[in-house]
Structure 1
């Protein structure tokens, strides 16, 4: 029987576990990106099924998550885009509504004048 080297066996197990963790985290990050979810330590931890301590202690994974988190914070969310669009278009909307109000007021004034003439015609016939 060949000599069993416990230390090399443990190193092999550790390397396999580490590779498995990397794979789980990478797949979790890809799923979060596809789903347009926020990428942070909590979301990656729950999606990958690993502890947050594992993510924080592994420098490669930690840097990747921090980089992605930073990139996401710089890109505006759909709510922010909509809000900015509304702020930019606010003046145009106000002007459009003012024109509409003016048009309706003029139409109302014209109809009141027509009503006066109609009442005058009715009184003349009496």
Structure 2
């Protein structure tokens, strides 16, 4: 009969849990990056289903999250990109809206003329 070594068994269990946690966190970070979500300890912890303390206490995971968080802070956010795009396209947008207004005013004038003719026809019938 083999001798049961409790310490070895606990080491094996701890190693498998640690590997599972690393895998969950890596997959959560990948999902957050694909979804263009902010990466911080709260978002990674909730996405991975682990405690924030786990992320803070594990040096490798902590360094990875802090690095990604700094990279995201340096990259322009979608709101900033949209604001820049709006500033660049403001003149084109104004010109497009002015053309649309002219077109609608012309159509409005045409419909008023048709309405005058229709009123005249109704008046003649009376």
1:78-107 CA distances to partner (integer Å, 9 max, x unpaired)?
2101223344566xx3xx87xx8xxxxxxx
Matches within 5 A, 1:84-99: 84-87=84-87, 93=91
Partner of 1:6: 6
Alpha-carbon RMSD: 2.0
Distance 2:77 2:39 in 1: 13
1:57 matched to 2:51? The reply is no
- The equivalent residue for 1:79 is 79
Listed one character per residue, the Cα deviations across residues 38-62 of structure 1 (whole Å, up to 9, x for unaligned) are 1100000000000000000000000
Task: Give structure 2 stretches of 5+ with no counterpart.
Answer: 99-126
Q: Which has the larger radius of gyration?
A: 1
Q: Which runs of 4+ in 1 moved over 2 A?
A: 84-90
Structure 1: how far apart are the matches of 2:49 and 2:86? 40
Counterparts of 2:29 and 2:58, CA distance in 1: 15
Structure 2: how far apart are the matches of 1:79 and 1:39? Answer: 16
Please state whether the residue corresponding to 1:81 is helix, strand or coil: helix
Q: Show CA shifts across 1:99-125 (max 9, x none).
A: x8xxxxxxxxxxxxxxxxxxxxxxxxx
Partner of 1:19: 19
